[in-house]
Amino acid sequence: MGRWIFIFWGLIFSQVLIASSLEIAPVLEKGRFHPLSSLNPSQSLDTKLMLPSRVDPSVWLPLNLLSAREKNFTSYSDSDFKKIRKAYLEGQEEQLDEALMGAYATLAGQPYLTSATHTLTFPSVRQLQAEALYFRYPWTAICCALNALAVVLLFMGWRISGYILAFMGFLLLSFLLGIRIYVLERPPVSNMLETLLFVPWLALLVSFLIKREAVLAAAGLSTLLLGIVAVGTIKDNFENVQAVLDSNYWLTIHVLLVVGSYALFLLAGILAHGYFLGSKEASHKLSGLTQISMYLGLAMLVPGTILGGIWAAQSWGRFWDWDPKESWAFITICAYLAGVHAFRYRIIGEYGLALCAIVGAWTVTFTWYGVNYILGTGLHSYGFGSGGEWIYLVSVVLDAALVLLLAAMAKKRWKTV
């Protein structure tokens, strides 16, 4: 296993070295600085915002202004401006790239806007190189494929190979999340795309820590969620954080806890599906893992929700207002508390707990996806989107039918043993 991990990291490191050798100038688009290579190439280079204004460096101007103005109107030095303008007017693309890169190097990392609470700086060249590396290859699809192969191998009984592939997928996902943290300078949980990366990462991490049987479930969950990113309509890009979320402190202690609980609860839901597939002895082991996942999920969701109320009191002036996201967080908490307490006081057994874990997973998916993409109302509007409603509803109905069938077959099978 060590040899394959060493080769894997060697390949990643080689790509990092290639990216670090690139000289990159940024483009301002939708309020964020991006490396030119990561943007849609169909747009004319002339209209791209690549020149910082001398009057206000936070305002960037298009290249085509170089044709109309001879005097330096940029934040770059007069000598750099002359090089850029000369290369642009003569149509020398290589010289233009070189002049833009050299000029931007004088601004990289420097502050351009300061307020009472924030100081905004131009991204460093390293950050631009890291973002360029992120979009260099379809990393998410590769990570999805690694986990899918891990699922196949683990089902076939090739455990070591399956664990290696799942661990490689985890390392690659860690690498991608690390790039997002480095470039955006915040926790990677501010939008749907980032949560679809963070949830499988945490599920894999927990599965490696608690027991090997959970790795198959975590790899299956990762394949599903990363597949949605790879083939779905959610655009994988780097966005400015919404104003209401502009607090690394609360993003770290509230959003990470809540989104982290989704990973634990969904892992418990998949383990609960497996509970109805195996022998009674194997199912007993999976029930133990399901319990651990549910307890850990509650330990994250309950304090995370309470801390979210404190953040809401600071941001919106009220602790709780039965906003749809808040209401469904409460429903999810109640569903899991009812399940674990009923199990603890022997009102239900392992069979009932597995059903509770699956029902709870449905409430999690609605809290996570349904509130934002189906209801589309409430103060948590920064997470709203559209699309996939019927796919989601049909999936829940089909899963419910499958669970009822598996549960009935398991009960009959165990009675005959």
Q: What is the DSSP string of 184-247?
A: HSS-S-SSHHHHHHHHHHHHHHHHHHH-THHHHHHHHHHHHHHHHHHHSS------PPPGGG--
pLDDT on residue 4: 64
Looking at per-residue pLDDT, the higher value among 190 and 167 belongs to 167
Residue 196 lies in a domain: yes
Both 197 and 135 in one domain: the answer is yes
- In which residue are the tokens 């390293």 written? 126
Number of domains in the chain: 2
Q: Is the pTM of this model over 0.85?
A: yes
Residue 29 bridge partners (DSSP): 32
Q: Which of 67, 102, 121 lies at the terminal end of a domain, its last residue?
A: 121
Both 388 and 341 in one domain: the answer is yes
pLDDT in tens, 57-66: 889 999 989 9
Both 317 and 210 in one domain: the answer is yes
Residue 18 lies in a domain: no
By the 8 A CB rule, do 87 and 76 touch? Answer: no
Both 264 and 133 in one domain: the answer is yes
Largest CA distance in the chain: 89
Looking at per-residue pLDDT, the higher value among 40 and 95 belongs to 95
pLDDT on residue 220: 95
Q: Other C-beta atoms within 10 Å of 321: how many?
A: 13
pLDDT on residue 236: 77
In which order are the strands placed within the sheet that holds 49-52?
Answer: 32-35, 26-29, 49-52, 60-62
Both 239 and 344 in one domain: the answer is yes
Both 333 and 266 in one domain: the answer is yes
Of the candidates 186, 183, 45, 31, the residue with the CA atom closest to the CA atom of residue 112: 31
Residue 255 lies in a domain: yes
Both 221 and 97 in one domain: the answer is no
pLDDT on residue 382: 60
**Cα–Cα distance, 116 to 96 (Å, whole number):** 37
- Is the pLDDT at 238 greater than 90? The verdict is no
**Cα–Cα distance, 234 to 190 (Å, whole number):** 14
Residue 17 lies in a domain: no
Both 225 and 316 in one domain: the answer is yes
- Is the pLDDT at 265 greater than 60? The verdict is yes
pLDDT in tens, 69-88: 889 999 999 999 999 999 99
Both 57 and 190 in one domain: the answer is no
Computed over every residue of the chain, the mean pLDDT equals 86
Of the candidates 211, 205, 206, 136, the residue with the CA atom closest to the CA atom of residue 171: 205
Which domain covers residue 288, as residue numbers?
128-416
Strands 49-52 and 111-114: unpaired
Residues 241-246, mean pLDDT to the nearest whole number:
60
Phi, psi of 332 (to 5 degrees): -65, -45
By the 8 A CB rule, do 33 and 26 touch? Answer: yes
Both 45 and 138 in one domain: the answer is no
- Is the pLDDT at 357 greater than 90? The verdict is yes
pLDDT on residue 83: 93
Q: Which of 101, 121, 141 lies at the terminal end of a domain, its last residue?
A: 121
Strands 49-52 and 60-62: antiparallel
Both 116 and 133 in one domain: the answer is no
Handedness of CA 307, 311, 376, 391 (dihedral sign): negative
Given pLDDT bands bounded at 50, 70 and 90, which one contains residue 318?
A: confident
- In which residue are the tokens 């000029």 written? 103
Of the candidates 73, 70, 71, 49, the residue with the CA atom closest to the CA atom of residue 61: 49
Both 309 and 170 in one domain: the answer is yes
Residue 202 lies in a domain: yes
Q: Which of 98, 121, 144 lies at the terminal end of a domain, its last residue?
A: 121
By the 8 A CB rule, do 252 and 187 touch? Answer: yes
Given pLDDT bands bounded at 50, 70 and 90, which one contains residue 321?
A: confident
Residue 8 lies in a domain: no
By the 8 A CB rule, do 303 and 264 touch? Answer: no
pLDDT on residue 242: 62
Residue 235 lies in a domain: yes
Amino acid at 242: Q
Chain centroid to Cα 92, Å, comes to 40
pLDDT in tens, 172-214: 999 999 999 999 888 888 888 899 999 999 999 999 998 777 9
Residue 12 lies in a domain: no
